[in-house]
Amino acid sequence: MPHLRELVELHKNDPFALIGVNTNDSPSDYRKGLRDHGVTWLSAYQGALTPIANLYRVNGYPTYILIDGDGKMVGRGHGGKEFDGQIKKLIAELKGR
């Protein structure tokens, strides 16, 4: 979570959005986790019904999916920092439009 918080702060003035989707916890554990981890970005709770996870074929957690400015999935993985360079590149491209 610290790295996600860093990304949100670093790119707060950029064309960047971080969206979390939780599928494993109970609603009360989810809300507690938001508070305990200081989540400041958009986060959704799906519980056992996982239409977003099914749509993106998520089969392990955490899964990171990088979507470009045109809505195209351009990256997928399980490591938090593996997309940092790609995020910077996509933001530069969006700012150049």
- Which pLDDT score is estimated for 52? 85
Q: Which residue has the tokens 């790295």?
A: 3
User: Which positions of the chain have pLDDT values less than 70?
Assistant: 49
- Which pLDDT score is estimated for 6? 92
- Which pLDDT score is estimated for 7? 92
Given the candidates 3.40.30.10, 3.40.640.10, 3.40.50.80, 3.40.50.1980, the CATH classification of the domain at 2-92 is 3.40.30.10
- Report which DSSP code applies to 32: H
Residue spans of the domains in the chain: they are 2-92
Exposed, middle or buried: residue 45 (CB in 10 Å: 0-12, 13-18, 19+)? middle
Q: Kindly report the pTM of this predicted structure.
A: 0.80
